[in-house]
A and B are shown apart, each in its own frame.
Chain A
Amino acid sequence: GQSLEQPSEVTAVEGAIVQINCTYQTSGFYGLSWYQQHDGGAPTFLSYNALDGLEETGRFSSFLSRSDSYGYLLLQELQMKDSASYFCGGNTPLVFGKGTRLSVIA
């Protein structure tokens, strides 16, 4: 089977750093993706890790360790607009975790 596990909720303070973890069990793993979804909106692609290591895109970074079947999304300098749900996804076609709802508080 294919499954990805991530925390259901995370709360963090504006300006802080937050890490959202994702562990997976998938066959034929091809890499780990991250998507952001605001309430009422469509999921939007954030990042993709095909290889082990850290990928950085502005305030967002994503990490993958294949040997540990683990990855994370790191959000720095949190802003209120970062309040959203974040999904990790793996395999092909994409199978998603159930999502982590991030609340950024003042």
Chain B
Amino acid sequence: DVKVTQSSRYLVKRTGEKVFLECVQDMDHENMFWYRQDPGLGLRLIYFSYDVKMKEKGDIPEGYSVSREKKERFSLILESASTNQTSMYLCASSPNRGYGYTFGSGTRLTVV
């Protein structure tokens, strides 16, 4: 089974901190994605990557950046955490760009 591992299940950070959320997949997938999930808003795409070193903005990239130095690892960076970034963050990978995504268990981030 494909496994997508997110390094932390729960995180609490202070406003203004730089935050790194790590995601690793073990099935050699080309495609990786970061979403945030908020009640009533569903899953919204932050950034995605179709190849190593490649990154593209999703629908809500403001306040975030990403890094993909290796195929299996896709990191989400909050440059200066704010309270409105309190959310559940979900990483996914897929062999296909449009379907068959496998999600990690998520990181619930609280910014205080």
Residues of A within 8 A of B (CB): 30-31, 33, 35, 41-45, 48, 50, 87, 89, 91-99
Contact = CB atoms under 8 A, between A and B. Distances in A.
Nearest to A1: B59
A97 B42 contact: yes
Interface string B83-103: 000000010000001111111
A98 B40 contact: yes
A98 B42 contact: yes
A52 to B, nearest CB: 16
Contacts, number: 57
Contacts of A89: 99
Interface string B51-82: 00000001100000000000000000000000
A98 B41 contact: yes
B109 to A, nearest CB: 15
B101 A94 contact: yes
Given A87-B42, A92-B97, A93-B98, 7 more contacts: A33-B101, A43-B43, A91-B98, A93-B45, A93-B97, A98-B42, A99-B43
A43 B90 contact: yes
Instruction: Please provide the 8 A-B residue pairs with the shortest distance between their CB atoms, ordered closest to farther.
Output: A92-B98, A98-B42, A42-B103, A48-B99, A30-B98, A92-B97, A96-B43, A93-B48
B102 A31 contact: no
Interface of B: 31, 33, 35, 40-45, 48, 58-59, 90, 97-106
Contacts of B31: 93
Nearest to A49: B99
Given A93-B48, A98-B41, A98-B42, A45 B98 contact: no
